[in-house]
Amino acid sequence: MTVSGAPAWVHACSCLECQRRSGSAFSYSAFFPESTTSVEGEYRSWRRASPGGWHESSFCPTCGSWIFSRLEALPNIVGISAGCFADPAFERPAKLYWSSQRHRWLSLPKEIEAIDSQ
């Protein structure tokens, strides 16, 4: 996936679905206008129902890594896994959604707003 420009926003989510999908304590995503993104190569997608409408996750069929998501609630926006940028200096998330479901060991820096749900 290729992007141009900075993300519109970056956030993390510790809802149980994101924990399952990421295989970790939370997902960490950068959101871009769809018009600033392009997909090269093969990918597979999986769609599930969520409280805000469908959530479609797309992944690499070779290695299984989650690459990007589209959400019915956010038309024309693409959420890209921050790990895809392979940049330790990547922008930190502004918010952690579903902090009520986060692992209890996970404490947040004061710069990240904890949102109980979404």
pLDDT in tens, 18-29: 899 888 999 999
pLDDT by residue (tens digit) across 48-64?
988 779 999 999 999 98
Q: End-to-end CA distance of the chain, in Å?
A: 27
Instruction: Give the domain CATH number at 77.
Output: 3.90.1590.10
| Domain membership flag for residue 73 | yes
Residue 59 included in any domain: yes
- pTM for this predicted structure: 0.88
Overall number of domains in the chain: 1
Question: Is 13 inside a domain boundary?
Answer: yes
| Domain membership of residue 36 as a residue range | 2-102
Q: Is residue 109 part of a domain?
A: no
